Every structure is written in structure tokens, then in C-alpha cells.
């Protein structure tokens, strides 16, 4: 397919974070962009403001004439009326991942894979490259705060992309540089078991590397890739490593050491050991592509993070509130650990909305263990996304497995009243569903609390 010939394009699921990045790419090329999504959100409103035409009813009457290409997300069911309409009409239809593979095919590609860490790491890499004079294009899985977007069009021949394991999407990519951050079990509804995820997912992705390309892996994952030529990174581990972690004046500080470089007293605003590990491979890749040490030092200091990745929503003398996309036990532990590192003496309240019935079932014990780390754990009901209910799988099932005596299960509509009553010191909202719709009401309440109002 020649992308140059596309004049009108249609997205089914345009409000998805990965889909909207590609929509922005085509809009920037002068293509007329249309699309459907199930609900209007801040992101879809932004797309409309940028000039895209979006509707929110599954109805073929809203489809414009003359569509050259349809892009859909695997989260859309095969029975979707608009998808069926285009298939019956013979319009070219492609998955998002296929199109990302086509776009990146003619470019030098940095691809970041992993069950956790993709979005933050690819955003750090993008920021460091651009700070260092490499004007890269980037397709990100979150809104990078420095860019105000999940997409940026660069003028160099480098592109940074997330390599998504869901639905084996990343097998459409052929990167020059690849990083694997983590390979924890996930998406078992797709892969069946962990070994299949490793064999037909991550190892297959590693074999997609272009000849002469570089594969970076978190140091504890080296055995997974066997005899493959890898460069290992980590915190206090790996050939390329960060060490001497400490908290200084609200920043995480550390030293970076590799066979060719040593940088001391680096400062990074994102909290948590996991984010320092994300930064470690970003530093390593940036250095390997010719970015200077001083640009990296300044880039780390100026990086403002990613929306919904331990995003600071509100902070005053009484309360700190962070919102995080965490939807896997490992991600929950990382977010809770980051909060404890920043506020070791505070009472930490976490509100978690489980995402998917299958994921809740598959990792129930891990979720219970992670949530027990909170001082005040609050559970909301499961956000189903693309799934139908599974008998016996519910938020109460998780609650029953937890040992924390302060655990609670609430409806979304009850949460704000509960927070008002309990006055959290450090608050986390956690999850990948629609829990983000609670962020603004909570922020407004915190900013209007009596102790925050001026006399």
C-alpha cells in the first residue's frame, strides 16, 4: 500500500491512545480524517479541535463516501456494524499495528517492548533524542507532558514507537534498535500461557530486528533470549547500569555507568526505581545514537513525564494526589513503591479499578498482594473493556483474597464522599479503565477543601 495515495481515512476506535497518534500523523500529511469511538473524551475532543470529524454512535449513516483506508483497533469486536460495512464494501481495512509497520518501514526505528514500561521509556527516549538534536518522529502510548501529545512529527529519519505485545501487534515492526523492558505474564487471553507469550511474542519480536540492529534487554531477562546478542541494562545490574539511587530535594538522583561513559549525580523528576530503570535504557540508546552527555543530563532534568503515569494531579501542605495507569500487579507495586519512596511517613490511600475480567481472574492473587501494600486500599468494580463478564470474577473476589484490614469496595459514585470523610494524605487512583473520569472531580474537591480556600 502506498500511503501517498490516501486522501480520506477512517478510524474505528479513533479515541484509543495508539489510534489517535496515527490519526494525528495522517492529519499532518493533509489527509482528511474521520472516525468513530464509543464515548467522547478529552482526547477525542482534542482530535475534533484539530480538524478531525468524529462521531459516537455505531451507525453506518455517519460514514463519509470515498474512504481510501480504514484502520481499526483489535479492541473493536468483529461484529461491529461499521467494520462489517467496510469489509462488505471491499474498502482496504488494516489493523493499527499493520499501518504503524508500514509507516516505520522506510525509517530508522527505535521500538520499545515490554508488558510494563513501554510508554514512559519511549517518551524519555523521544525527549532525550530531541534534546540532543535528533529531530525524531514518535508514536507514543500516552500523552507526553513535554509534547502535550502522543505524536510528534520530526524531520530526521528516526522514529520512536511502542512495540505492543497485545494481539502480537509488534510483529509488524522491523526495528533498528529494540528494547525489552519486561516480559511478565499478561494478555493470556491472546497467548494462553506465559511460555507462549515469550516464544511467539517477545522472542519472535527480537528476531524481527534488522541486520546489524541492537537489542537492549533488562539484565534479568538475558536468559529468555538465549544466544541472541543483547546489551543488558538495569539498576545495580547489567553492563549499562544506574547505581547509587537516592532521593534529593524531591528528585531521584543516581549515577550512570557503562563501558564507555560515566555520569554522576544525574537528577530525574519521575519517582521510583522502575522509572530510573526506564531512564537507564533511554540514556544508553541516546548515547549510542550520538547524543551528548550534557544534553542527556539536561533532558532528564526537564522531562515532565507522561499523563497517567504517576502523574501529579494535586499537591499542597496537606495532600498529594497522583493518577496512574497501572493495571497489572507489577505496575501496582511500582506505583505504590514510588509513593512510599516519596512519602515514607504518610498514609497512602489507593483506589484501584480492575481492567478486564480475564486479567482479574488470571492475576487475582498478585493483585491482592499488591493492593495489600496500601495503607487504605479501595476497590471499584471491574471495567470490562472488550469482554463479557466471567462467572465468579468480580472486584469482591479480589477483596476476599486481600488481608489488609482497611480494605473497602465502593461504587464509583460513592468514592468522592468516602474521600471527603477519610481525608487521604497521599492518594493514588489506579487503573486503565474509565477511572480517569474521576480525576478532575477529585482534583476540584482537593483544591476547594476548607484548608485550601483563601479567607
Confidence band of 192 (pLDDT split at 50, 70, 90): confident
Domains of the chain and any CATH numbers: 7-95 (3.40.50.720), 106-302 (3.40.1190.10), 311-452 (3.90.190.20)
| Among the listed residues 317, 365, 366, 311, the one whose alpha carbon sits nearest the alpha carbon of residue 339 | 311
As a whole number, mean pLDDT of residues 325-346 equals 92
Residue in the block written with cell 537507564: 280
> What's the Cα-to-Cα distance from 9 to each of 55, 138, 207, 270, rounded to whole Å?
14, 20, 32, 37
* Whether residue 278 has pLDDT greater than 90: yes
> What's the Cα-to-Cα distance from 11 to each of 59, 160, 188, 373, rounded to whole Å?
14, 22, 27, 41
Instruction: Quote the pLDDT of residue 454.
Output: 44
Lowest mean pLDDT, pick from 175-189, 220-234, 336-350, 404-418 = 175-189
Instruction: Quote the pLDDT of residue 4.
Output: 84
Instruction: Quote the pLDDT of residue 450.
Output: 60
**pLDDT, tens digit (0-9, with 9 covering 90-100), for 373-392:** 999 999 999 999 878 899 99
Work out whether strand 311-315 and strand 320-324 pair parallel, antiparallel, or are unpaired.
Answer: antiparallel
The share of the chain scoring above pLDDT 70, in percent, equals 98
Q: Please tell me the distance from the alpha carbon of residue 135 to that of residue 385, in angstroms, as a whole number.
A: 36
As a whole number, mean pLDDT of residues 176-199 equals 88
Phi, psi torsion values for 193, nearest 5 degrees = -150, 170
* Whether residue 140 has pLDDT greater than 90: yes
* Whether residue 453 has pLDDT greater than 50: no
Instruction: Quote the pLDDT of residue 2.
Output: 79
Instruction: Quote the pLDDT of residue 317.
Output: 86
* pLDDT greater at residue 345 or residue 249: 345
The string of DSSP codes covering 298-311 is HHHHH---BTTSSE
Instruction: Quote the pLDDT of residue 449.
Output: 67
* Whether residue 398 has pLDDT greater than 90: yes
* Whether residue 172 has pLDDT greater than 90: yes
Instruction: Quote the pLDDT of residue 100.
Output: 93
The share of the chain scoring above pLDDT 90, in percent, equals 80
**pLDDT, tens digit (0-9, with 9 covering 90-100), for 10-22:** 999 999 989 999 9
Work out whether strand 348-352 and strand 426-430 pair parallel, antiparallel, or are unpaired.
Answer: parallel
Share the mean pLDDT of the chain. Answer: 93
Q: Please tell me the distance from the alpha carbon of residue 150 to that of residue 446, in angstroms, as a whole number.
A: 28
Instruction: Quote the pLDDT of residue 228.
Output: 95
Confidence band of 452 (pLDDT split at 50, 70, 90): low
Instruction: Quote the pLDDT of residue 386.
Output: 76
**pLDDT, tens digit (0-9, with 9 covering 90-100), for 86-135:** 999 999 999 999 999 999 988 999 999 998 899 999 999 999 999 999 99
Q: Please tell me the distance from the alpha carbon of residue 318 to that of residue 412, in angstroms, as a whole number.
A: 24
Instruction: Quote the pLDDT of residue 225.
Output: 96
Q: Please tell me the distance from the alpha carbon of residue 119 to that of residue 55, in angstroms, as a whole number.
A: 27
- At a CB cut-off of 8 Å and minimum separation 6, what does 411 contact? 380, 381
Task: Give the relative orientation of helices 293-302 and 273-288 as an angle to the nearest 10 degrees.
Answer: 150
Amino acid at each position: 500500500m502506498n500511503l501517498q495515495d490516501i486522501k480520506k481515512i477512517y478510524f474505528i476506535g479513533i479515541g484509543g491512545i495508539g489510534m489517535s497518534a496515527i490519526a494525528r500523523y495522517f492529519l499532518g500529511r493533509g489527509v482528511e480524517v474521520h472516525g468513530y469511538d464509543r464515548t467522547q473524551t478529552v482526547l477525542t475532543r482534542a482530535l475534533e479541535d484539530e480538524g478531525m470529524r468524529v462521531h459516537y454512535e455505531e451507525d453506518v449513516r455517519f460514514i463519509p463516501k470515498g474512504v481510501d483506508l480504514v484502520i481499526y483497533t483489535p479492541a473493536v469486536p468483529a461484529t461491529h456494524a461499521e467494520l462489517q460495512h467496510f469489509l462488505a464494501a471491499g474498502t482496504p481495512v488494516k489493523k493499527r499495528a499493520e499501518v504503524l509497520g508500514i509507516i516505520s518501514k522506510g525509517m530508522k526505528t527505535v521500538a520499545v517492548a515490554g508488558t510494563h514500561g513501554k510508554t514512559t521509556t519511549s517518551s524519555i527516549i523521544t525527549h532525550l533524542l530531541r534534546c540532543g538534536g535528533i529531530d525524531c518522529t514518535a508514536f507514543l502510548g500516552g500523552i507526553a507532558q513535554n509534547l502535550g501529545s502522543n505524536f510528534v512529527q520530526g524531520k530526521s529519519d528516526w522514529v520512536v514507537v511502542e512495540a505492543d505485545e497485545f494481539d502480537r501487534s509488534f510483529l509488524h515492526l522491523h526495528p533498528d534498535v529494540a528494547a525489552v523492558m519486561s516480559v511478565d505474564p499478561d494478555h493470556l487471553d491472546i497467548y494462553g500461557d506465559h511460555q507462549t507469550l515469550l516464544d511467539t511474542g517477545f522472542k519472535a519480536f527480537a528476531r524481527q530486528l534488522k541486520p546489524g540492529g541492537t537489542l537492549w534487554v533488562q539484565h534479568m531477562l538475558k536468559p529468555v533470549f538465549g544466544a541472541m546478542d543483547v546489551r543488558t541494562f538495569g539498576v545495580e545490574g547489567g553492563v549499562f547500569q544506574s547505581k547509587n539511587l537516592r532521593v534529593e530535594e524531591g528528585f531521584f538522583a543516581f549515577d550512570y555507568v557503562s563501558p564507555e561513559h560515566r555520569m554522576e549525580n544525574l537528577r530525574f523528576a519521575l519517582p521510583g526505581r522502575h522509572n530510573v530503570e526506564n531512564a537507564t535504557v533511554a540514556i544508553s540508546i541516546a548515547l549510542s545514537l550520538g547524543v551528548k552527555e550534557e544534553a542527556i543530563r539536561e533532558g532528564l532534568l526537564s522531562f515532565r513525564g507522561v499523563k497517567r503515569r504517576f502523574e501529579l494531579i494535586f499537591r499542597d501542605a496537606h495532600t498529594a494526589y497522583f493518577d496512574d495507569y497501572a493495571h497489572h500487579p507489577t505496575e501496582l507495586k511500582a506505583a505504590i513503591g514510588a509513593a512510599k519512596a516519596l512519602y515514607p511517613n504518610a498514609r497512602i490511600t489507593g483506589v484501584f479499578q480492575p481492567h478486564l475480567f480475564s486479567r482479574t481472574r488470571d492475576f487475582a492473587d498478585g493483585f491482592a498482594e499488591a493492593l495489600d501494600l496500601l495503607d487504605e486500599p479501595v476497590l471499584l468494580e471491574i471495567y470490562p473493556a472488550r469482554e463479557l463478564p466471567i462467572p465468579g470474577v468480580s472486584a469482591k473476589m479480589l477483596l476476599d483474597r486481600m488481608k489488609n484490614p482497611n480494605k473497602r469496595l465502593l461504587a464509583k459514585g460513592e468514592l468522592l464522599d468516602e474521600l471527603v470523610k477519610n481525608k487521604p494524605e497521599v492518594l493514588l487512583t489506579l487503573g486503565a479503565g474509565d477511572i480517569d473520569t474521576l480525576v478532575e472531580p477529585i482534583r476540584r474537591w482537593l483544591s476547594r477543601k476548607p484548608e485550601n480556600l483563601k479567607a
